[in-house]
Amino acid sequence: MVQALDRATEFRFTEDDFQWLRLVANKHSGIVLADAKRNMIYSRLTKRLRQLNLSSFSEYRQLLDGSDSREFGEFINAITTNLTSFFREQHHFDHLAEQTIPELVMQPRRERRIRVWSAGCSTGEEPYSIAMVLEKGLSKYPGWSYDILATDLDTQVLQRAAAGIYTEDRGSNLDGAILKRWFQRGQGCHSGRIRVKPELQRYIRFQQLNLVQPWKVDGPFDVLFCRNVVIYFDKATQQKLFDKFADVLAPGAALHIGHSETLHQVSDRFRLAGKTTYRKLG
């Protein structure tokens, strides 16, 4: 109890500090920090204050306000929520395997390549799960290939995604055959870790991309996963974003969004095609 009190009062965190930080966060990332996030912001940022040897939030604000863009990146990394897992929301991966892949390989196309974008990929479990499904699904169709663009705003999670190294418990929901096929088990000082095999990484390109700032990607994509990302954005930001998404998707492309997200009153350029799964119209 004494320890908790000490922690809570270690740095003075005023209403003005919180309002300023949430405004800056929202302007840059689209993330709306609700009042309920006050304690989370305090505890995540106090770590930065300690690391930087600062004595108050007003010093931290000055640092962010200045030209030190490196700290700005750290600030954004600290406010993002990166929860993810392999094959999270399994039904999207079933849809990809059972509907999207068989449909796409039957289409007359210029190129025998399926193009996927994982937007807000966090630590990489999502694009690696997509790659595992594509590897298996396309093995029945000689000459077919794929590529995956995996993007996130947070540079720290992207680094971890590109490394593809996880603690063993992150892979505990994967079945033994999948683990054996696509992961190496760490030995010696790496024991307790699993590492994605390079052959699963070869068609994935990790890149930093802020969805609410002007961006340009090379479409058209056949599949877009943007799950559990826009939940933190307001409606107007979501509307703009899904309009831009529609512009870079092929007609009929599959869009997968998070379990508590919807396109209702957000975009009329998609039709519902399953649980939190849409198809681009046109």
Site for ligand SAM, rule CB under 6 A = 29-31, 80-84, 88, 120-122, 126, 152-154, 157, 210-212, 227-229, 258
Nearer to ligand SAM by Cβ, of 230 and 253: the residue is: 230
Residue of 44, 48, 170, 269 marked catalytic:
44
For residue 18, the minimal CB distance to ligand SAM (Å) is 19
For residue 7, the minimal CB distance to ligand SAM (Å) is 25
Per residue, the 3-state secondary structure of the chain, as one string, reads CHHHHHHHCCCCCCHHHHHHHHHHHHHHHCCCCCHHHHHHHHHHHHHHHHHCCCCCHHHHHHHHHCCCHHHHHHHHHHHCCCCCCCCCCHHHHHHHHHHHHHHHHHCCCCCCEEEEEEECCCCCHHHHHHHHHHHHHHCCCCCCEEEEEEEECCHHHHHHHHHCEEEHHHHCCCCHHHHHHHEEECCHHHCCEEEECHHHHCCEEEEECCCCCCCCCCCCEEEEEECCCHHHCCHHHHHHHHHHHHHCEEEEEEEEECCCCCCCCCCCCEEEEECCEEEECC
Nearer to ligand SAM by Cβ, of 69 and 191: the residue is: 69
Q: For residue 94, indicate whether it is catalytic.
A: no
For residue 50, the minimal CB distance to ligand SAM (Å) is 23
The whole-angstrom separation of Cα 130 and Cα 281 is: 23
Beta bridge pairs of residue 54:
none
Residue of 17, 22, 115, 152 marked catalytic:
152
Nearer to ligand SAM by Cβ, of 145 and 208: the residue is: 208
Q: For residue 44, indicate whether it is catalytic.
A: yes
For residue 271, the minimal CB distance to ligand SAM (Å) is 22
Nearer to ligand SAM by Cβ, of 157 and 248: the residue is: 157
The two three-digit tokens of residue 268, written as one number: 């009329």
For residue 245, the minimal CB distance to ligand SAM (Å) is 12
Nearer to ligand SAM by Cβ, of 62 and 213: the residue is: 213
User: Annotated active-site positions, please?
Assistant: 44, 152
